Amino acid sequence: MVAALALLAAGPWTGWWTFLPLLVAAAAFRLADARTDRASHPEYWMFGAWAAVEAIIAASVALTGDTAVSLLVLLAIPVATLSARFSMHGIWAGGAIAVALMIAVALSADAGGVAADPLLLIAPIGVVVAGAGLSTPLMTSDVEHRDQAILDPLTNLLNRRSLRARAREIEHQSALTREPVGVVYLDLDKFKRVNDSLGHEAGDAVLVDVAYQLRSGLRAYDLIYRLGGDEFLVLVPGADIAHACRVGRDARAVIGQASTGPRVAVTASCGVSASVEGEPFDFDAVFAHADRALYNAKKGEGFAWEEGTNVERFGAVAT
C-alpha cells in the first residue's frame, strides 16, 4: 500500500500508467487468499503472491524510466512485511529476491549512472538487508512471547490462559453447530508423595513424562492443557458423554505408563463431563460438572462422570 501511494504521488512526474501494474499485485494476493484454505502448503501460495507483488513493484519502478533508480527503495517496503507471515528462511529468501530485482532494475534503467555512482544501488540494498536483519529478531521475539503466553514452560502443553481462549472459540462454534463438547479433568493421585520421597526435580520429571504420555496416547485433535500443579484437562470437541468417558479412560491408562522409578507408581483420578447434543456448550458449566465428578472420583474408584447442560440438570454420577 505504501509503495502504491508513493507511485501515485510520483504520478505527475513519472506518469500515471506506472500505477496500473499494482492492480495485478492486488489480484495476486486475492488469488493466494482463495487458495490458502484448500492448499496443502498455503505458505507457498502466500510467498508466491508476495514475490509476484515485489516483481510487479519492480516493473512499475522500471517503467518510470530515468527516475527508476531513485525509486528503488520502494522495493524494500514489502520486505518489512515478511516477518508477519513467514519463517526466517522466508525472510531471507524474500530479501534476496528484493536485492536481485533492485540490481536488475538499476542496470536496465541506468547502468551508466549506477557505474558512476554505485551508492545509488548500494544504499537501497542496504535498506533491504537492514530491514530483513531487524525483522528477524522481532519475529523471534514475537514467537517466544506468544509461546510464553500460551504454553506451560515445564511440560510445553497449552496452559490455562490458552484454555480460556479456546473454550470461548468452541462456545461460539457450538452455538452454531449444537454439537456436544467433552471435558476430561485429570488430577495425579498422591503426587505430593513423589515430591516428598524423590524430590521436586523428580516431580517435575514426572509431570514432563505425563505430558509426553498424554500427547502420545491421545489423538491430535484432543486438546490437552496443564492447568497447574498436577492437574490436566482435555477438551474434546464433538464428544458426547460416552465418547468423553472413553477419552478419560484412555488418558488414565497412558498416564499409568509415566515413569517415576521403582518406588512410586503414577495414577490419576478423572472427572468427565460433556454438554448435551443440541444445546450450546457452556465451558464454565461443563467444567464445574467435571470438577464435581473429579471430586467424586477421588473418593471412589478414580473415575466419575456427570452429564452437563446449560441448565441445572445433572445426569447420574458413576464411580
DSSP character string of 61-86: HHTTGGGTGGGGGGGGTGGGGGGGTS
- Residue 254: closest CA among 315, 196, 188, 163: 188
Instruction: Please provide the DSSP assignment of 234-253 as one string.
Output: EEEET--HHHHHHHHHHHHH
pLDDT tens column, 219-229:
776 789 999 89
| d(C-alpha 183, C-alpha 227), whole Å | 13
Average pLDDT, integer, range 123-141: 72
The dihedrals phi and psi of 282, each to the nearest 5 degrees, come to: -120, 105
| Region of residue 261 (phi > 0: left; psi between -120 and 50: alpha; otherwise: beta) | left
Q: What percent of the chain has pLDDT over 70?
A: 74
178: number of Cβ within 10 Å: 14
Going edge to edge, which strands form the sheet with 181-188? Answer: 223-228, 231-237, 181-188, 268-274, 303-307
Q: How many CB atoms lie within 10 A of CB 148?
A: 11
DSSP for 82-119, please give it: GGGTS-HHHHHHHHHHHHHHHHHHHHHHHHHHHHH-TH
Taking only the tens place, the pLDDT of each residue in 157-213 is 999 888 988 999 999 888 888 899 999 999 999 888 888 888 888 889 899 999 999
pLDDT surpassing 50 at residue 312: no
Cα gap 214→247, rounded to integer Å:
11
The string of pLDDT tens digits covering residues 82-96 is: 776 677 788 888 889
**Averaging pLDDT over each range in 3-7, 39-43, 250-254, which range is the top one?**
250-254
Helix, strand, or coil (residue 37): coil
Give the pLDDT confidence score for residue 252 in this predicted structure.
93
pTM above threshold 0.75: no
| Strand ranges for 101-217 from DSSP E | 181-188
Alpha helices in 151-159 (DSSP H): none
DSSP code at position 221: T
- Looking at per-residue pLDDT, the higher value among 61 and 311 belongs to 61
Integer angstrom CA distances of residue 258 from 187, 214, 261, 268: 14, 9, 9, 11
Dist. CA 200–CA 261, nearest whole Å: 14
Q: What is the pLDDT of residue 270?
A: 94
pLDDT band at 2, cuts 50/70/90?
low
pLDDT, mean of residues 235-255: 92
- Predicted pLDDT at 146: 47
